[in-house]
Structure 1
Amino acid sequence: MHLIDFFDYGVGHDPVAECLVEGDLRMSYAQVDEWTHRIAWALADQGIGPQGRVAVLSPNNVWGYIAILGTQRARAVWVPLTARASVDEIIAHLRRTQSEWLLYHSEFDGAITRIVAEVPSLRGIVCVDQATGPHGGLAQWTASRAGQLFPLPDSDMRDAIFRITSSGGTTGAPKAVIQTQIGVEANMATFMAIAHDPLPRYLLCNPMTHAAGIVSFHVLARGGTVHILRTPELDKVVDLIETERITALMLTPTSIYSLLGKPDIRNRDFTSLRHFIFGAAPMATEKLREAIEVFGPVMMQIYGQTEASTALAAMLPHEYARFAADPSLLHRLASCGRATPFTRLGIMSSTGELLPRGERGELVVRGGMVMQGYWNEQELDTGASKFGWHHTGDIAYEDEEGYFYIVDRVRDLIISGGFNIFPSEVEQVVWSHPAVQDCAVIGVPDEKWGEAVKAVVELKPGASATGEEIMALCKEKLGSVKAPKTVEFWDELPRSPLKKVLKKEIRQRYWSAS
């Protein structure tokens, strides 16, 4: 099965049902379906055949979303471009993937001349949210094929490339990651199994190029509605949950912390929610308990990464609710959940042995969600798939009931005076301070210990705290070895377009000076 086959299944549920909603624009399944056929024909008429590489550059937008589905109808390879990336980064990914066609939003009109000049592989470009334009508009480009159904391929193309996306670059230079239609199948099956919601109303407010977009696809297969918000403006998010009776959405922990800090948040209506999904980073357990109190027993975590997207492990709402209510099980709030039904997880030593429950090692995975490899960088594939498993780069352990706990990234481990210190353990304590909005714990150069533990803290608006308070709290909870030796307060931590804290940038400030 191909992504577009799942969409077609949704069309068959009820063609006149609402499929995509953005502001006052409300489009039925039949309307979206017609546009996907028009786009597929237009690509084919320009010589873009199956597995041709078609990039889509758009913020969260109905027409950008339809463009993605149109590339899939053509059986082309979708090349996602992050709307919040710099023009340099956009050009780099287009060149890296040798993209042949670009479907773009008018927001990027000012950058198009430069993009075309610097990406020689591009054979054509079209603006998707305008009917006409200097580079062609969607209606104009597809007019000759209106009303014509695009034919099914001669084979099912199950193992074809779905998309070539960019790794986050939070730990090194971005790489082009190949994801297949087998991965689409695995994701669809997983969300059908773990997210029971007959006719979901999903709010897509995080970038559609990332996990939130992948999660939205199963909504189409169910015949549900995807409500599109350009950016996760939190006041609008809450308003839409109430007015559109949203049943599911996905936000980062950072955005959830900001929501919890809103003074009227406990007076708003979240009774329609069934799944409030978070991922991309761990969530502070104290704030998770608060989220369950505010939003109800709907919190759901998914764990994945670009190279193995999107839900390798999951903690489901009923599990969080049970653990939060039982003092003997509160420690489980720190878990990312159990392996999802179509994935096998393990904990591996550096020499390739699978470790017993309770021992720490690298989290490894097998299953359809694992990438095919890196585009034109085959030498990197070997390191990521040693010993027959995909290596996530996360240090973790599994408890006696199969729940996995991410201890830290292998690259983030701090070695101070011969002791291994996991920053995430320290961050959990720092987050528990009532004045702390977010934090990052890193190792900084130290002449005596090699590395010293440092906490970089972002406070809640209007709150105050001292470094001495935070160091004393950590020393009380963790002991002197793991407690930060210094604390710095920053107005705002550097974050990626997905709101992940960029430890690499924080670390560089201290290590480049050394």
Structure 2
Amino acid sequence: MRMIDYFDRGARMAHDKPCMIAGDAMRTYAEVSARSHAIARALIADGFAAGAHAAVLSGNAMVAFEAILGILRADGVWVMANNRAAVGENAYLLDLLDVDTLFVHSEVADRIATFRAECPNIRRYIALDRPFPEADIFLEDMLEASAEPAPQRRSGHEDELAFLGNTGGTTGRPKGVMLSNRNWQALVSSLVASMPMKIPPVNLVAAPMTHAAGPLALASMALGGTVVVLPKFDPPAVVAAIEKHRVTYMFLPPTAIYMLLAEPSVRTADLSSLEYISYAGAPMSLDRLKEAIDVLGPVMNASFGQTEAPMCVTAMPPHEHLNADGELAHPGSCGRANLLSIVEIMDEEGNILPPGERGEIVVRGPLVMAGYYKNPEATAEVSTFGWHHTGDIGVRDEDGWFYVVDRKKDMIISGGFNIYPAEVEQAILAHPDVQDCAVIGVPDDKWGEAVVAVVEPRAGANIDTEALLAAARDALGPVKTPKAIEVVAALPRSNAGKVLRAELRRERWTAAGRAI
């Protein structure tokens, strides 16, 4: 089955029911299905080949989801693109992943000039929400009224490439992650198995659709669910939307959950419709988790995954969060292996370790990616001993509960986003007053980890930290910009002169009484 076949399943079940709601706008499944066919026909007429790659660069918007469905309907490969990333990172990824057609929201229209210079393979730029001169054509001007369905041009075989995610490497250079029809089937099946819905879900998309919230919304459409789209995460708006639309399910990273708990209206609104709030992507404070259960109800659903094995390698559903005494039953656990994944703890020699011993979390099964795009060396490296290596150090107990306790690499997870120190360091080092720097993640109640740059100034220089942060924000975008800059006389170094990031981290994590 193709990804679009899952949408069609939902459309058959709920053709006259709401598919998407955004503000005062609502479209039924029949209407969204018709628009997906129209977009697919327009793409095909424009020369978009079967299996070609297309991306949507936009914040949360109903038309952005429709464009994704149109790409899939045209038997294209959907390339996930993050509109919040810096323009240079987007240009690198769009070129690396051979994007042929790019749908662009007017909010990021000014980036097209850079893409035209650095992404020669992009053949067409399509304006999503309104006409603007930087694009080649406005989407609505491409559409023709017709009842003719778009032709199916690929077989839908389970090994066909369905969508391309991306994940940074230890050097900060992203890699394309190939996810097939088989991977999508495993993801949808695992989600439904771990979070069975009592009624067709009403899925609130408040986190960025470029992250986990987007694929999860598409998965909910397979069940005939309604997707309520908010342009951004705003706690009062989230509470109001849950109450108004009787939302049953949403995904939020821990930092957003903390902000939601701080919103006064969350304690007075009627949130009884909620069945699941799925959280992942960063360590969650146990105190905040218990508070969330107390305030929001027994609806918290933990999971562990990564782009290469999306979202639900393990899961801990709501009913397994608390014991009979009302306390956290498995504090700090990310759950047990889902029904379609084999998960183990492995040492450096490829031996499976017994319960209680720390090692790398490895996984097998249909959820694991087909490989890194045009990068067989990296694919082989992450697949040694016949297992996918997550890069996370964990431990399993006797009952199969997994706990993430450390990371092999220097990656920082802040607010649910993967951030790689080397890329941030390069931006900081570009400042003329900086001699050297080390970027680390430090414990933070809001973000899970806050990005901090520890900076050694050039001799005689005085670091203006606010100016340095502003320069970093211009280069990196808001997600990767450090939350703070610390200035030190000299960074700790090894005998070989290498900056010891681990020493800087250890001081701050130990002081916070945490291992991760």
Normalising by structure 2, report the TM-score: 0.79
Counterparts of 2:9 and 2:379, CA distance in 1: 35
Q: Supply the distance in 2 between the matched residues of 1:357 and 1:507 (Cα, whole angstroms).
A: 43
CA contact (8 A) 1:214 1:310 kept: no
SS of structure 1 residue aligned to 2:56 = strand
Equivalent residue runs for 1:327-338 within 5 Å: 330=328, 332-338=330-336
Partner of residue 341 from structure 2, selected from 320, 332, 343: 343
Label 1:231 to 1:170 Cα distance change in 2 as closer, same or farther (>3 A): farther
**Which residue type is aligned with residue 243 of structure 2?**
E
* Cα separation, partners in 2 of 1:8 and 1:324, compared to 1, 3 Å: farther
CA–CA separation in structure 1 for the residues paired with 2:483 and 2:379: 25
**Unpaired stretches in structure 1, ≥5 consecutive residues:** 414-422, 428-439, 443-453, 461-491
The CA distance in 1 between the partners of 2:166 and 2:301, in whole Å, is 25
Residue in 2 that maps onto 1:303: 304
Q: Are the structure 2 counterparts of residues 378 and 505 from structure 1 closer, same or farther at C-alpha, using a change threshold of 3 Å?
A: farther
Name the structure 1 match of 2:57.
57
Do the aligned partners of 1:310 and 1:369 also contact (CA within 8 Å) in 2? no
Structure 1 residues 456 and 186, CA gap change in structure 2 (3 angstroms): closer
Structure 2 match to 1:393: 391
CA distance in 1, matches of 2:487, 2:369: 29
Q: Is the 8 A contact 1:280 1:303 kept in 2?
A: yes
Equivalents in 2 of 1:411, 1:241: separation in Å?
Answer: 38
> Any idea what the Cα deviations from partners look like across 1:423-464, whole Å, max 9, x if unmatched?
99xx9xxxxxxxxxxxx9x9xxxxxxxxxxx9946578xxxx
Local SS of the residue matching 2:311: strand
Asked whether the 8 Å contact 1:313–1:336 carries over to 2, the reply is yes
Number of the residue aligned with 1:219: 220
Q: What's 2:374 paired with?
A: 376
Retained in 1: the 8 A contact 2:50–2:154? no
**Alpha-carbon shift at residue 218 of structure 1 (Å):** 2.3
Displacement, 1:131? 6.7
Q: Deviations over 1:480-503 (max 9, x none)?
A: xxxxxxxxxxxx9x9998979979
Aligned twin of 1:4: 4
Alignment RMSD (CA, Å)? 3.2
Q: 1:190 to 1:505 in 2, by over 3 A?
A: farther
- The letter of the residue matching 1:107 is E
Residues of 1 paired with 2:484 and 2:173: CA distance? 11
Aligned residues: 443
**Separation in structure 1 between the aligned mates of residue 111 and residue 354 of structure 2, nearest angstrom:** 53
TM-aligned CA deviation for residue 127 of structure 1: 1.0
- Conservation of the 8 A alpha-carbon contact between 2:249 and 2:276: yes
Alpha-carbon shift at residue 322 of structure 1 (Å)? 3.0
What is residue 488 of structure 1 aligned with on the other side? none
SS at the partner of 1:333? Answer: coil
Equivalent residue, structure 2, for 1:321? 322
AA of the residue aligned to 2:213: A
Corresponding position of 2:202: 201
Q: What secondary structure does 1:322 align onto?
A: coil
Q: 1:176 to 1:4 in 2, by over 3 A?
A: same
Q: Distance between the aligned counterparts of 1:270 and 1:196, measured in 2? A: 19
Deviation at 1:412, TM superposition (A): 4.9
Match of 1:235 in 2: 236
- Measure the CA separation in 1 of the matches of 2:37 and 2:275: 33
CA pair 388-459 structure 1, distance change in 2 beyond 3 A: closer
1:290 maps to a residue whose letter is E
Q: Which amino acid is the alignment partner of residue 248 of structure 1?
A: Y
Greater shift, 251-260 or 342-351, is seen at: 251-260
Listed as ranges, the matches of 1:8-47 within 5 Å are 8-47=8-47
Q: Deviations over 1:272-299 (max 9, x none)?
A: 1000111111211111111110100000
Distance 1:513 1:188, change over 3 A: closer
Distance 1:204 1:168, change over 3 A: farther
Closer, same or farther: CA 304–87 of 1 in aligned 2, 3 Å: same
- Measure how far apart 1:163 and its partner are: 1.5
User: Which sits farther off after the overlay, 33-42 or 255-264?
Assistant: 255-264
Give 2:275's aligned residue: 274
SS of the residue 1:303 aligns to: strand
Cα pair 1:292 1:299 within 8 Å, conserved: yes
User: What is residue 446 of structure 1 aligned with on the other side?
Assistant: none
Match of 1:254 in 2: 255
Other-structure match for 1:480: none
The one-letter amino acid paired with 1:195 is: M
1:364 alignment counterpart: 362
In structure 2, what residue type is equivalent to 1:189? S
Following TM superposition, the consecutive aligned residue runs of length 4 or more in structure 1 with deviations greater than 6 angstroms are: 494-509, 511-514
Counterpart residue identity of residue 47, structure 1: G
Contact 2:305 2:313 in 1 (8 A): yes
Maintained 8 Å contact 2:106/2:132: no
Counterpart for residue 155 of structure 2: 155
Q: Partner letter of residue 67 of structure 2?
A: A
Alignment partner, residue 165 of structure 2: 165
How far is the alpha carbon of 1:169 from its aligned partner? 5.5
Report the CA distance between 1:404 and its aligned residue.
Answer: 0.5
| CA distance, structure 1, for counterparts of residue 441 and residue 479 of structure 2 | 19
Q: 1:456 to 1:97 in 2, by over 3 A?
A: closer
Residues 253-262 or 300-309, more deviating: 253-262
Q: CA 1:282–1:459 in structure 2 vs 1: closer, same or farther (change >3 Å)? A: closer
Q: Say whether residues 1:121 and 2:127 are aligned partners.
A: no
Secondary structure of the structure 2 residue equivalent to 1:337: strand
Answer 1 or 2: which has greater helix percent: 1
SS at match of 1:240: helix
2:86 corresponding residue in structure 1: 86
Structure 1 residue 343 displacement after superposition? 0.9
**Partner SS for 1:125:** strand
Residues in 1 aligned to 2:38 and 2:201: alpha-carbon distance in whole angstroms: 27
The answer (yes or no) to whether the contact 1:206–1:498 under 8 Å persists in 2 is no
**Whole-angstrom distance in 2 between the partners of 1:455 and 1:163:** 30
Shift of the 206–318 alpha-carbon distance from structure 1 to 2, 3 Å rule, reads same
For 1:184-199, list aligned pairs within 5 A: 184-197=184-197, 198-199=199-200
Shift of 1:39: 1.5
Q: Distance in 2 between matches of 1:278 and 1:171?
A: 27
Structure 1, residues 371-411: CA drift from partner, whole Å, max 9, x if none?
A: 11111221111110000000000111111111101111112
1:240 partner letter: A
CA distance in 2, matches of 1:19, 1:410: 42
**In structure 2, what is the Cα distance between the partners aligned to 1:108 and 1:44?**
25
Counterpart of 1:332 in 2: which secondary structure?
A: coil
